[in-house]
Amino acid sequence: MDKTQIGTNAGIVWKLLSDNAHWEYEKLKKESGLSDRDLNAAIGWLAREDKIDFDIDEKQDRLFLHVNVYIG
């Protein structure tokens, strides 16, 4: 895996997240077709660029991803 592939995978994840819905990790993995390693690297890339946030539902202990939207 190289930086180019990670960036490409981040683009795949970004497109899925662009619907502004909260995604569970497993659903995102299934829809993206990425392995855990590739998905985690893509999530890390997007998180480092401050493109996504993480919410944890304390009642069900699930991880959600969503796109930050900045207007201005």
Q: pLDDT tens digits for 34-59?
A: 999 999 999 999 889 888 877 776 66
Taking alpha carbons only, the member of 28, 27, 22 closest to residue 56 is 22
Taking alpha carbons only, the member of 6, 1, 2 closest to residue 45 is 6
Ranges 15-19, 21-25, 61-65: which has the least confidence:
61-65
Give buried/exposed letters for 35-66 (b at 16+ CB in 10 A, else e).
Answer: eeebbebbbebbeeeebbeeeeeeeeeeebbe
Q: Which domains does the chain have, with CATH numbers?
A: 3-67 (1.10.10.10)
